[in-house]
């Protein structure tokens, strides 16, 4: 591989995902219009026109915002802000990344493998697998309702997906990353407001797995983990 090509590929790998860029522009548009929590955003068609993006890319951005707990999409009724567009979610303390410099790199690998697990689970799951996932979500829901972080339900959900993937090599790989992944999950769920956002993301992923939509399950899992993983960035 030539030096120039290698530089281009490294630059591409660090480029902000399209959906994240569009999501940021939606926030900027809402702020410029003076919208606040509870206000309604323009519809998909109008947002697509205003931002100059395709409906497909816009929907990916809206999915990211839903996972992040920033908007609610009410089918047939519109898109509503759940919090102020100027409200930023504080990142996980930079000290975590400083003490564990390998975590961002570990997280990137884990996110890819977990997304693959969700994709495989959508194709291979059976009723027992779905029952485990539902029980995990119920466990997390009860914990979040009680004001807890929901870490046990979170762990149960990801474990159930891995079982449903039916891939022993993938299981072995993720087990080698388990300690670091647990640090990331604990730090993420310890952040104010994050447990209900993660719970919402899990429900969306489960819905995709239920209907055997492997591509959607993979994308939702990747977006969910990428969004929470971004919080490892230094202040």
Domain end, chosen from 29, 58, 81, is at: 81
User: How far is 155 from 225, CA to CA, in rounded Å?
Assistant: 13
Domain around 107: 94-232
DSSP of 29-89: HHHHTT--TTPEEPPHHHHHHHHT--HHHHHHHHHHHHHTTSEEEETTTEEEESS-TT--P
**Does residue 225 surpass a pLDDT of 70?**
yes
pLDDT of 2 strictly over 90? no
pLDDT tops 50 at residue 9: no
- Provide the sign of the torsion angle of the four alpha carbons 101, 195, 201, 179, taken in this order: positive
User: CA–CA separation, 165 vs 235, rounded Å?
Assistant: 36
For residue 19, pLDDT over 50 is answered with yes
Mean pLDDT within 170-194? 84
Q: What is the mean pLDDT of the chain?
A: 83
pLDDT at 88: 59
| Residue 169 confidence (pLDDT) above 80 | yes
Q: Say what the pLDDT of residue 230 is.
A: 59
Burial 77-97 (b: 16+ CB within 10 A, else e): eebebeebbeeebebbbeebb
Query: Which CATH number goes with the domain that contains 45?
Result: 1.10.10.10
Whether 177 maps to a domain, the answer reads yes
Domain end point (choices 55, 81, 107): 81
Residue 168 lies in a domain: yes
pLDDT > 70: percent of the chain: 81
pLDDT at 117: 98
Looking at the structure, tell me whether residues 124 and 172 fall in a common domain: yes
**Is the confidence at residue 12, as pLDDT, over 70?**
no
Which pLDDT belongs to residue 103?
Answer: 57
Is residue 215 situated within a structural domain? yes
* Same-domain check for residues 114 and 224: yes
CA distances from 148 to 22, 145, 154, 160, 192 (A): 32, 7, 12, 21, 10
CATH of the domain at 216: 1.20.120.530
Kindly state whether residues 60 and 132 are assigned to the same domain: no
pLDDT greater at residue 173 or residue 68: 173
Give the tens place of pLDDT for each residue, 74-109: 877 889 998 888 875 544 434 444 455 555 667 788
Q: 145 pLDDT band (50/70/90 cuts)?
A: very high
Q: Does the residue 86 lie in any domain?
A: no
Number of domains in the chain: 2
Shared domain check, 220 and 121: yes
The pLDDT value recorded for residue 8 is 40
Residue 4 has pLDDT above 80, yes or no: no
Whether the Cβ atoms of residue 73 and residue 79 lie closer than 8 Å to each other:
yes
Same domain? For 76 and 124 the reply is no
Q: Is residue 88 part of a domain?
A: no
38 and 145 inside one domain? no
* Half-sphere exposure at residue 28, Cβ-oriented, CA atoms within 13 angstroms: 8
Residue range 183-220, pLDDT digits in tens: 788 878 877 788 998 999 999 999 999 999 999 999 99
DSSP code of 17?
A: P
**34-58 tens-digit pLDDT:** 999 999 999 999 999 999 999 888 9
Domain ends where: 54, 81, 108? 81
What is the pLDDT, as a whole number, of residue 23? Answer: 87
């Amino acid at each position: 591989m030539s030096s120039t090509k290698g530089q281009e590929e490294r630059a591409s790998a660090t480029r902000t995902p399209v959906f994240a860029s569009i999501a940021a522009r939606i926030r900027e548009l809402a702020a410029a219009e003076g919208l606040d929590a509870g206000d309604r955003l323009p519809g998909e068609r109008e947002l697509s026109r205003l931002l100059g993006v395709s409906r497909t890319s816009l929907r990916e951005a809206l999915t990211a915002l839903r996972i992040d707990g920033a908007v609610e999409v009410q089918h047939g009724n519109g898109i509503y802000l759940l919090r102020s567009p100027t409200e930023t979610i504080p990142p996980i303390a930079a000290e975590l990344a400083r003490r564990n410099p390998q975590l961002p790199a570990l997280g990137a690998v884990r996110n890819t493998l977990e997304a693959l697990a969700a994709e495989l689970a959508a194709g291979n799951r059976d009723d027992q697998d779905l029952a485990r996932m539902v029980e995990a979500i119920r466990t997390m829901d009860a914990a979040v309702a009680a004001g807890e972080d929901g870490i046990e339900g979170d762990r149960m959900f990801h474990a159930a997906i891995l079982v449903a993937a039916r891939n022993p090599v993938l299981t072995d790989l993720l087990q080698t990353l388990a300690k670091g992944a647990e640090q990331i999950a604990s730090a993420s769920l310890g952040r104010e407001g994050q447990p209900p956002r993660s719970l919402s993301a899990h429900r969306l992923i489960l819905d995709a797995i239920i209907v055997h939509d492997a591509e959607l399950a993979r994308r939702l899992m990747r977006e969910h983990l990428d969004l929470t993983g971004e919080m490892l960035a230094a202040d």
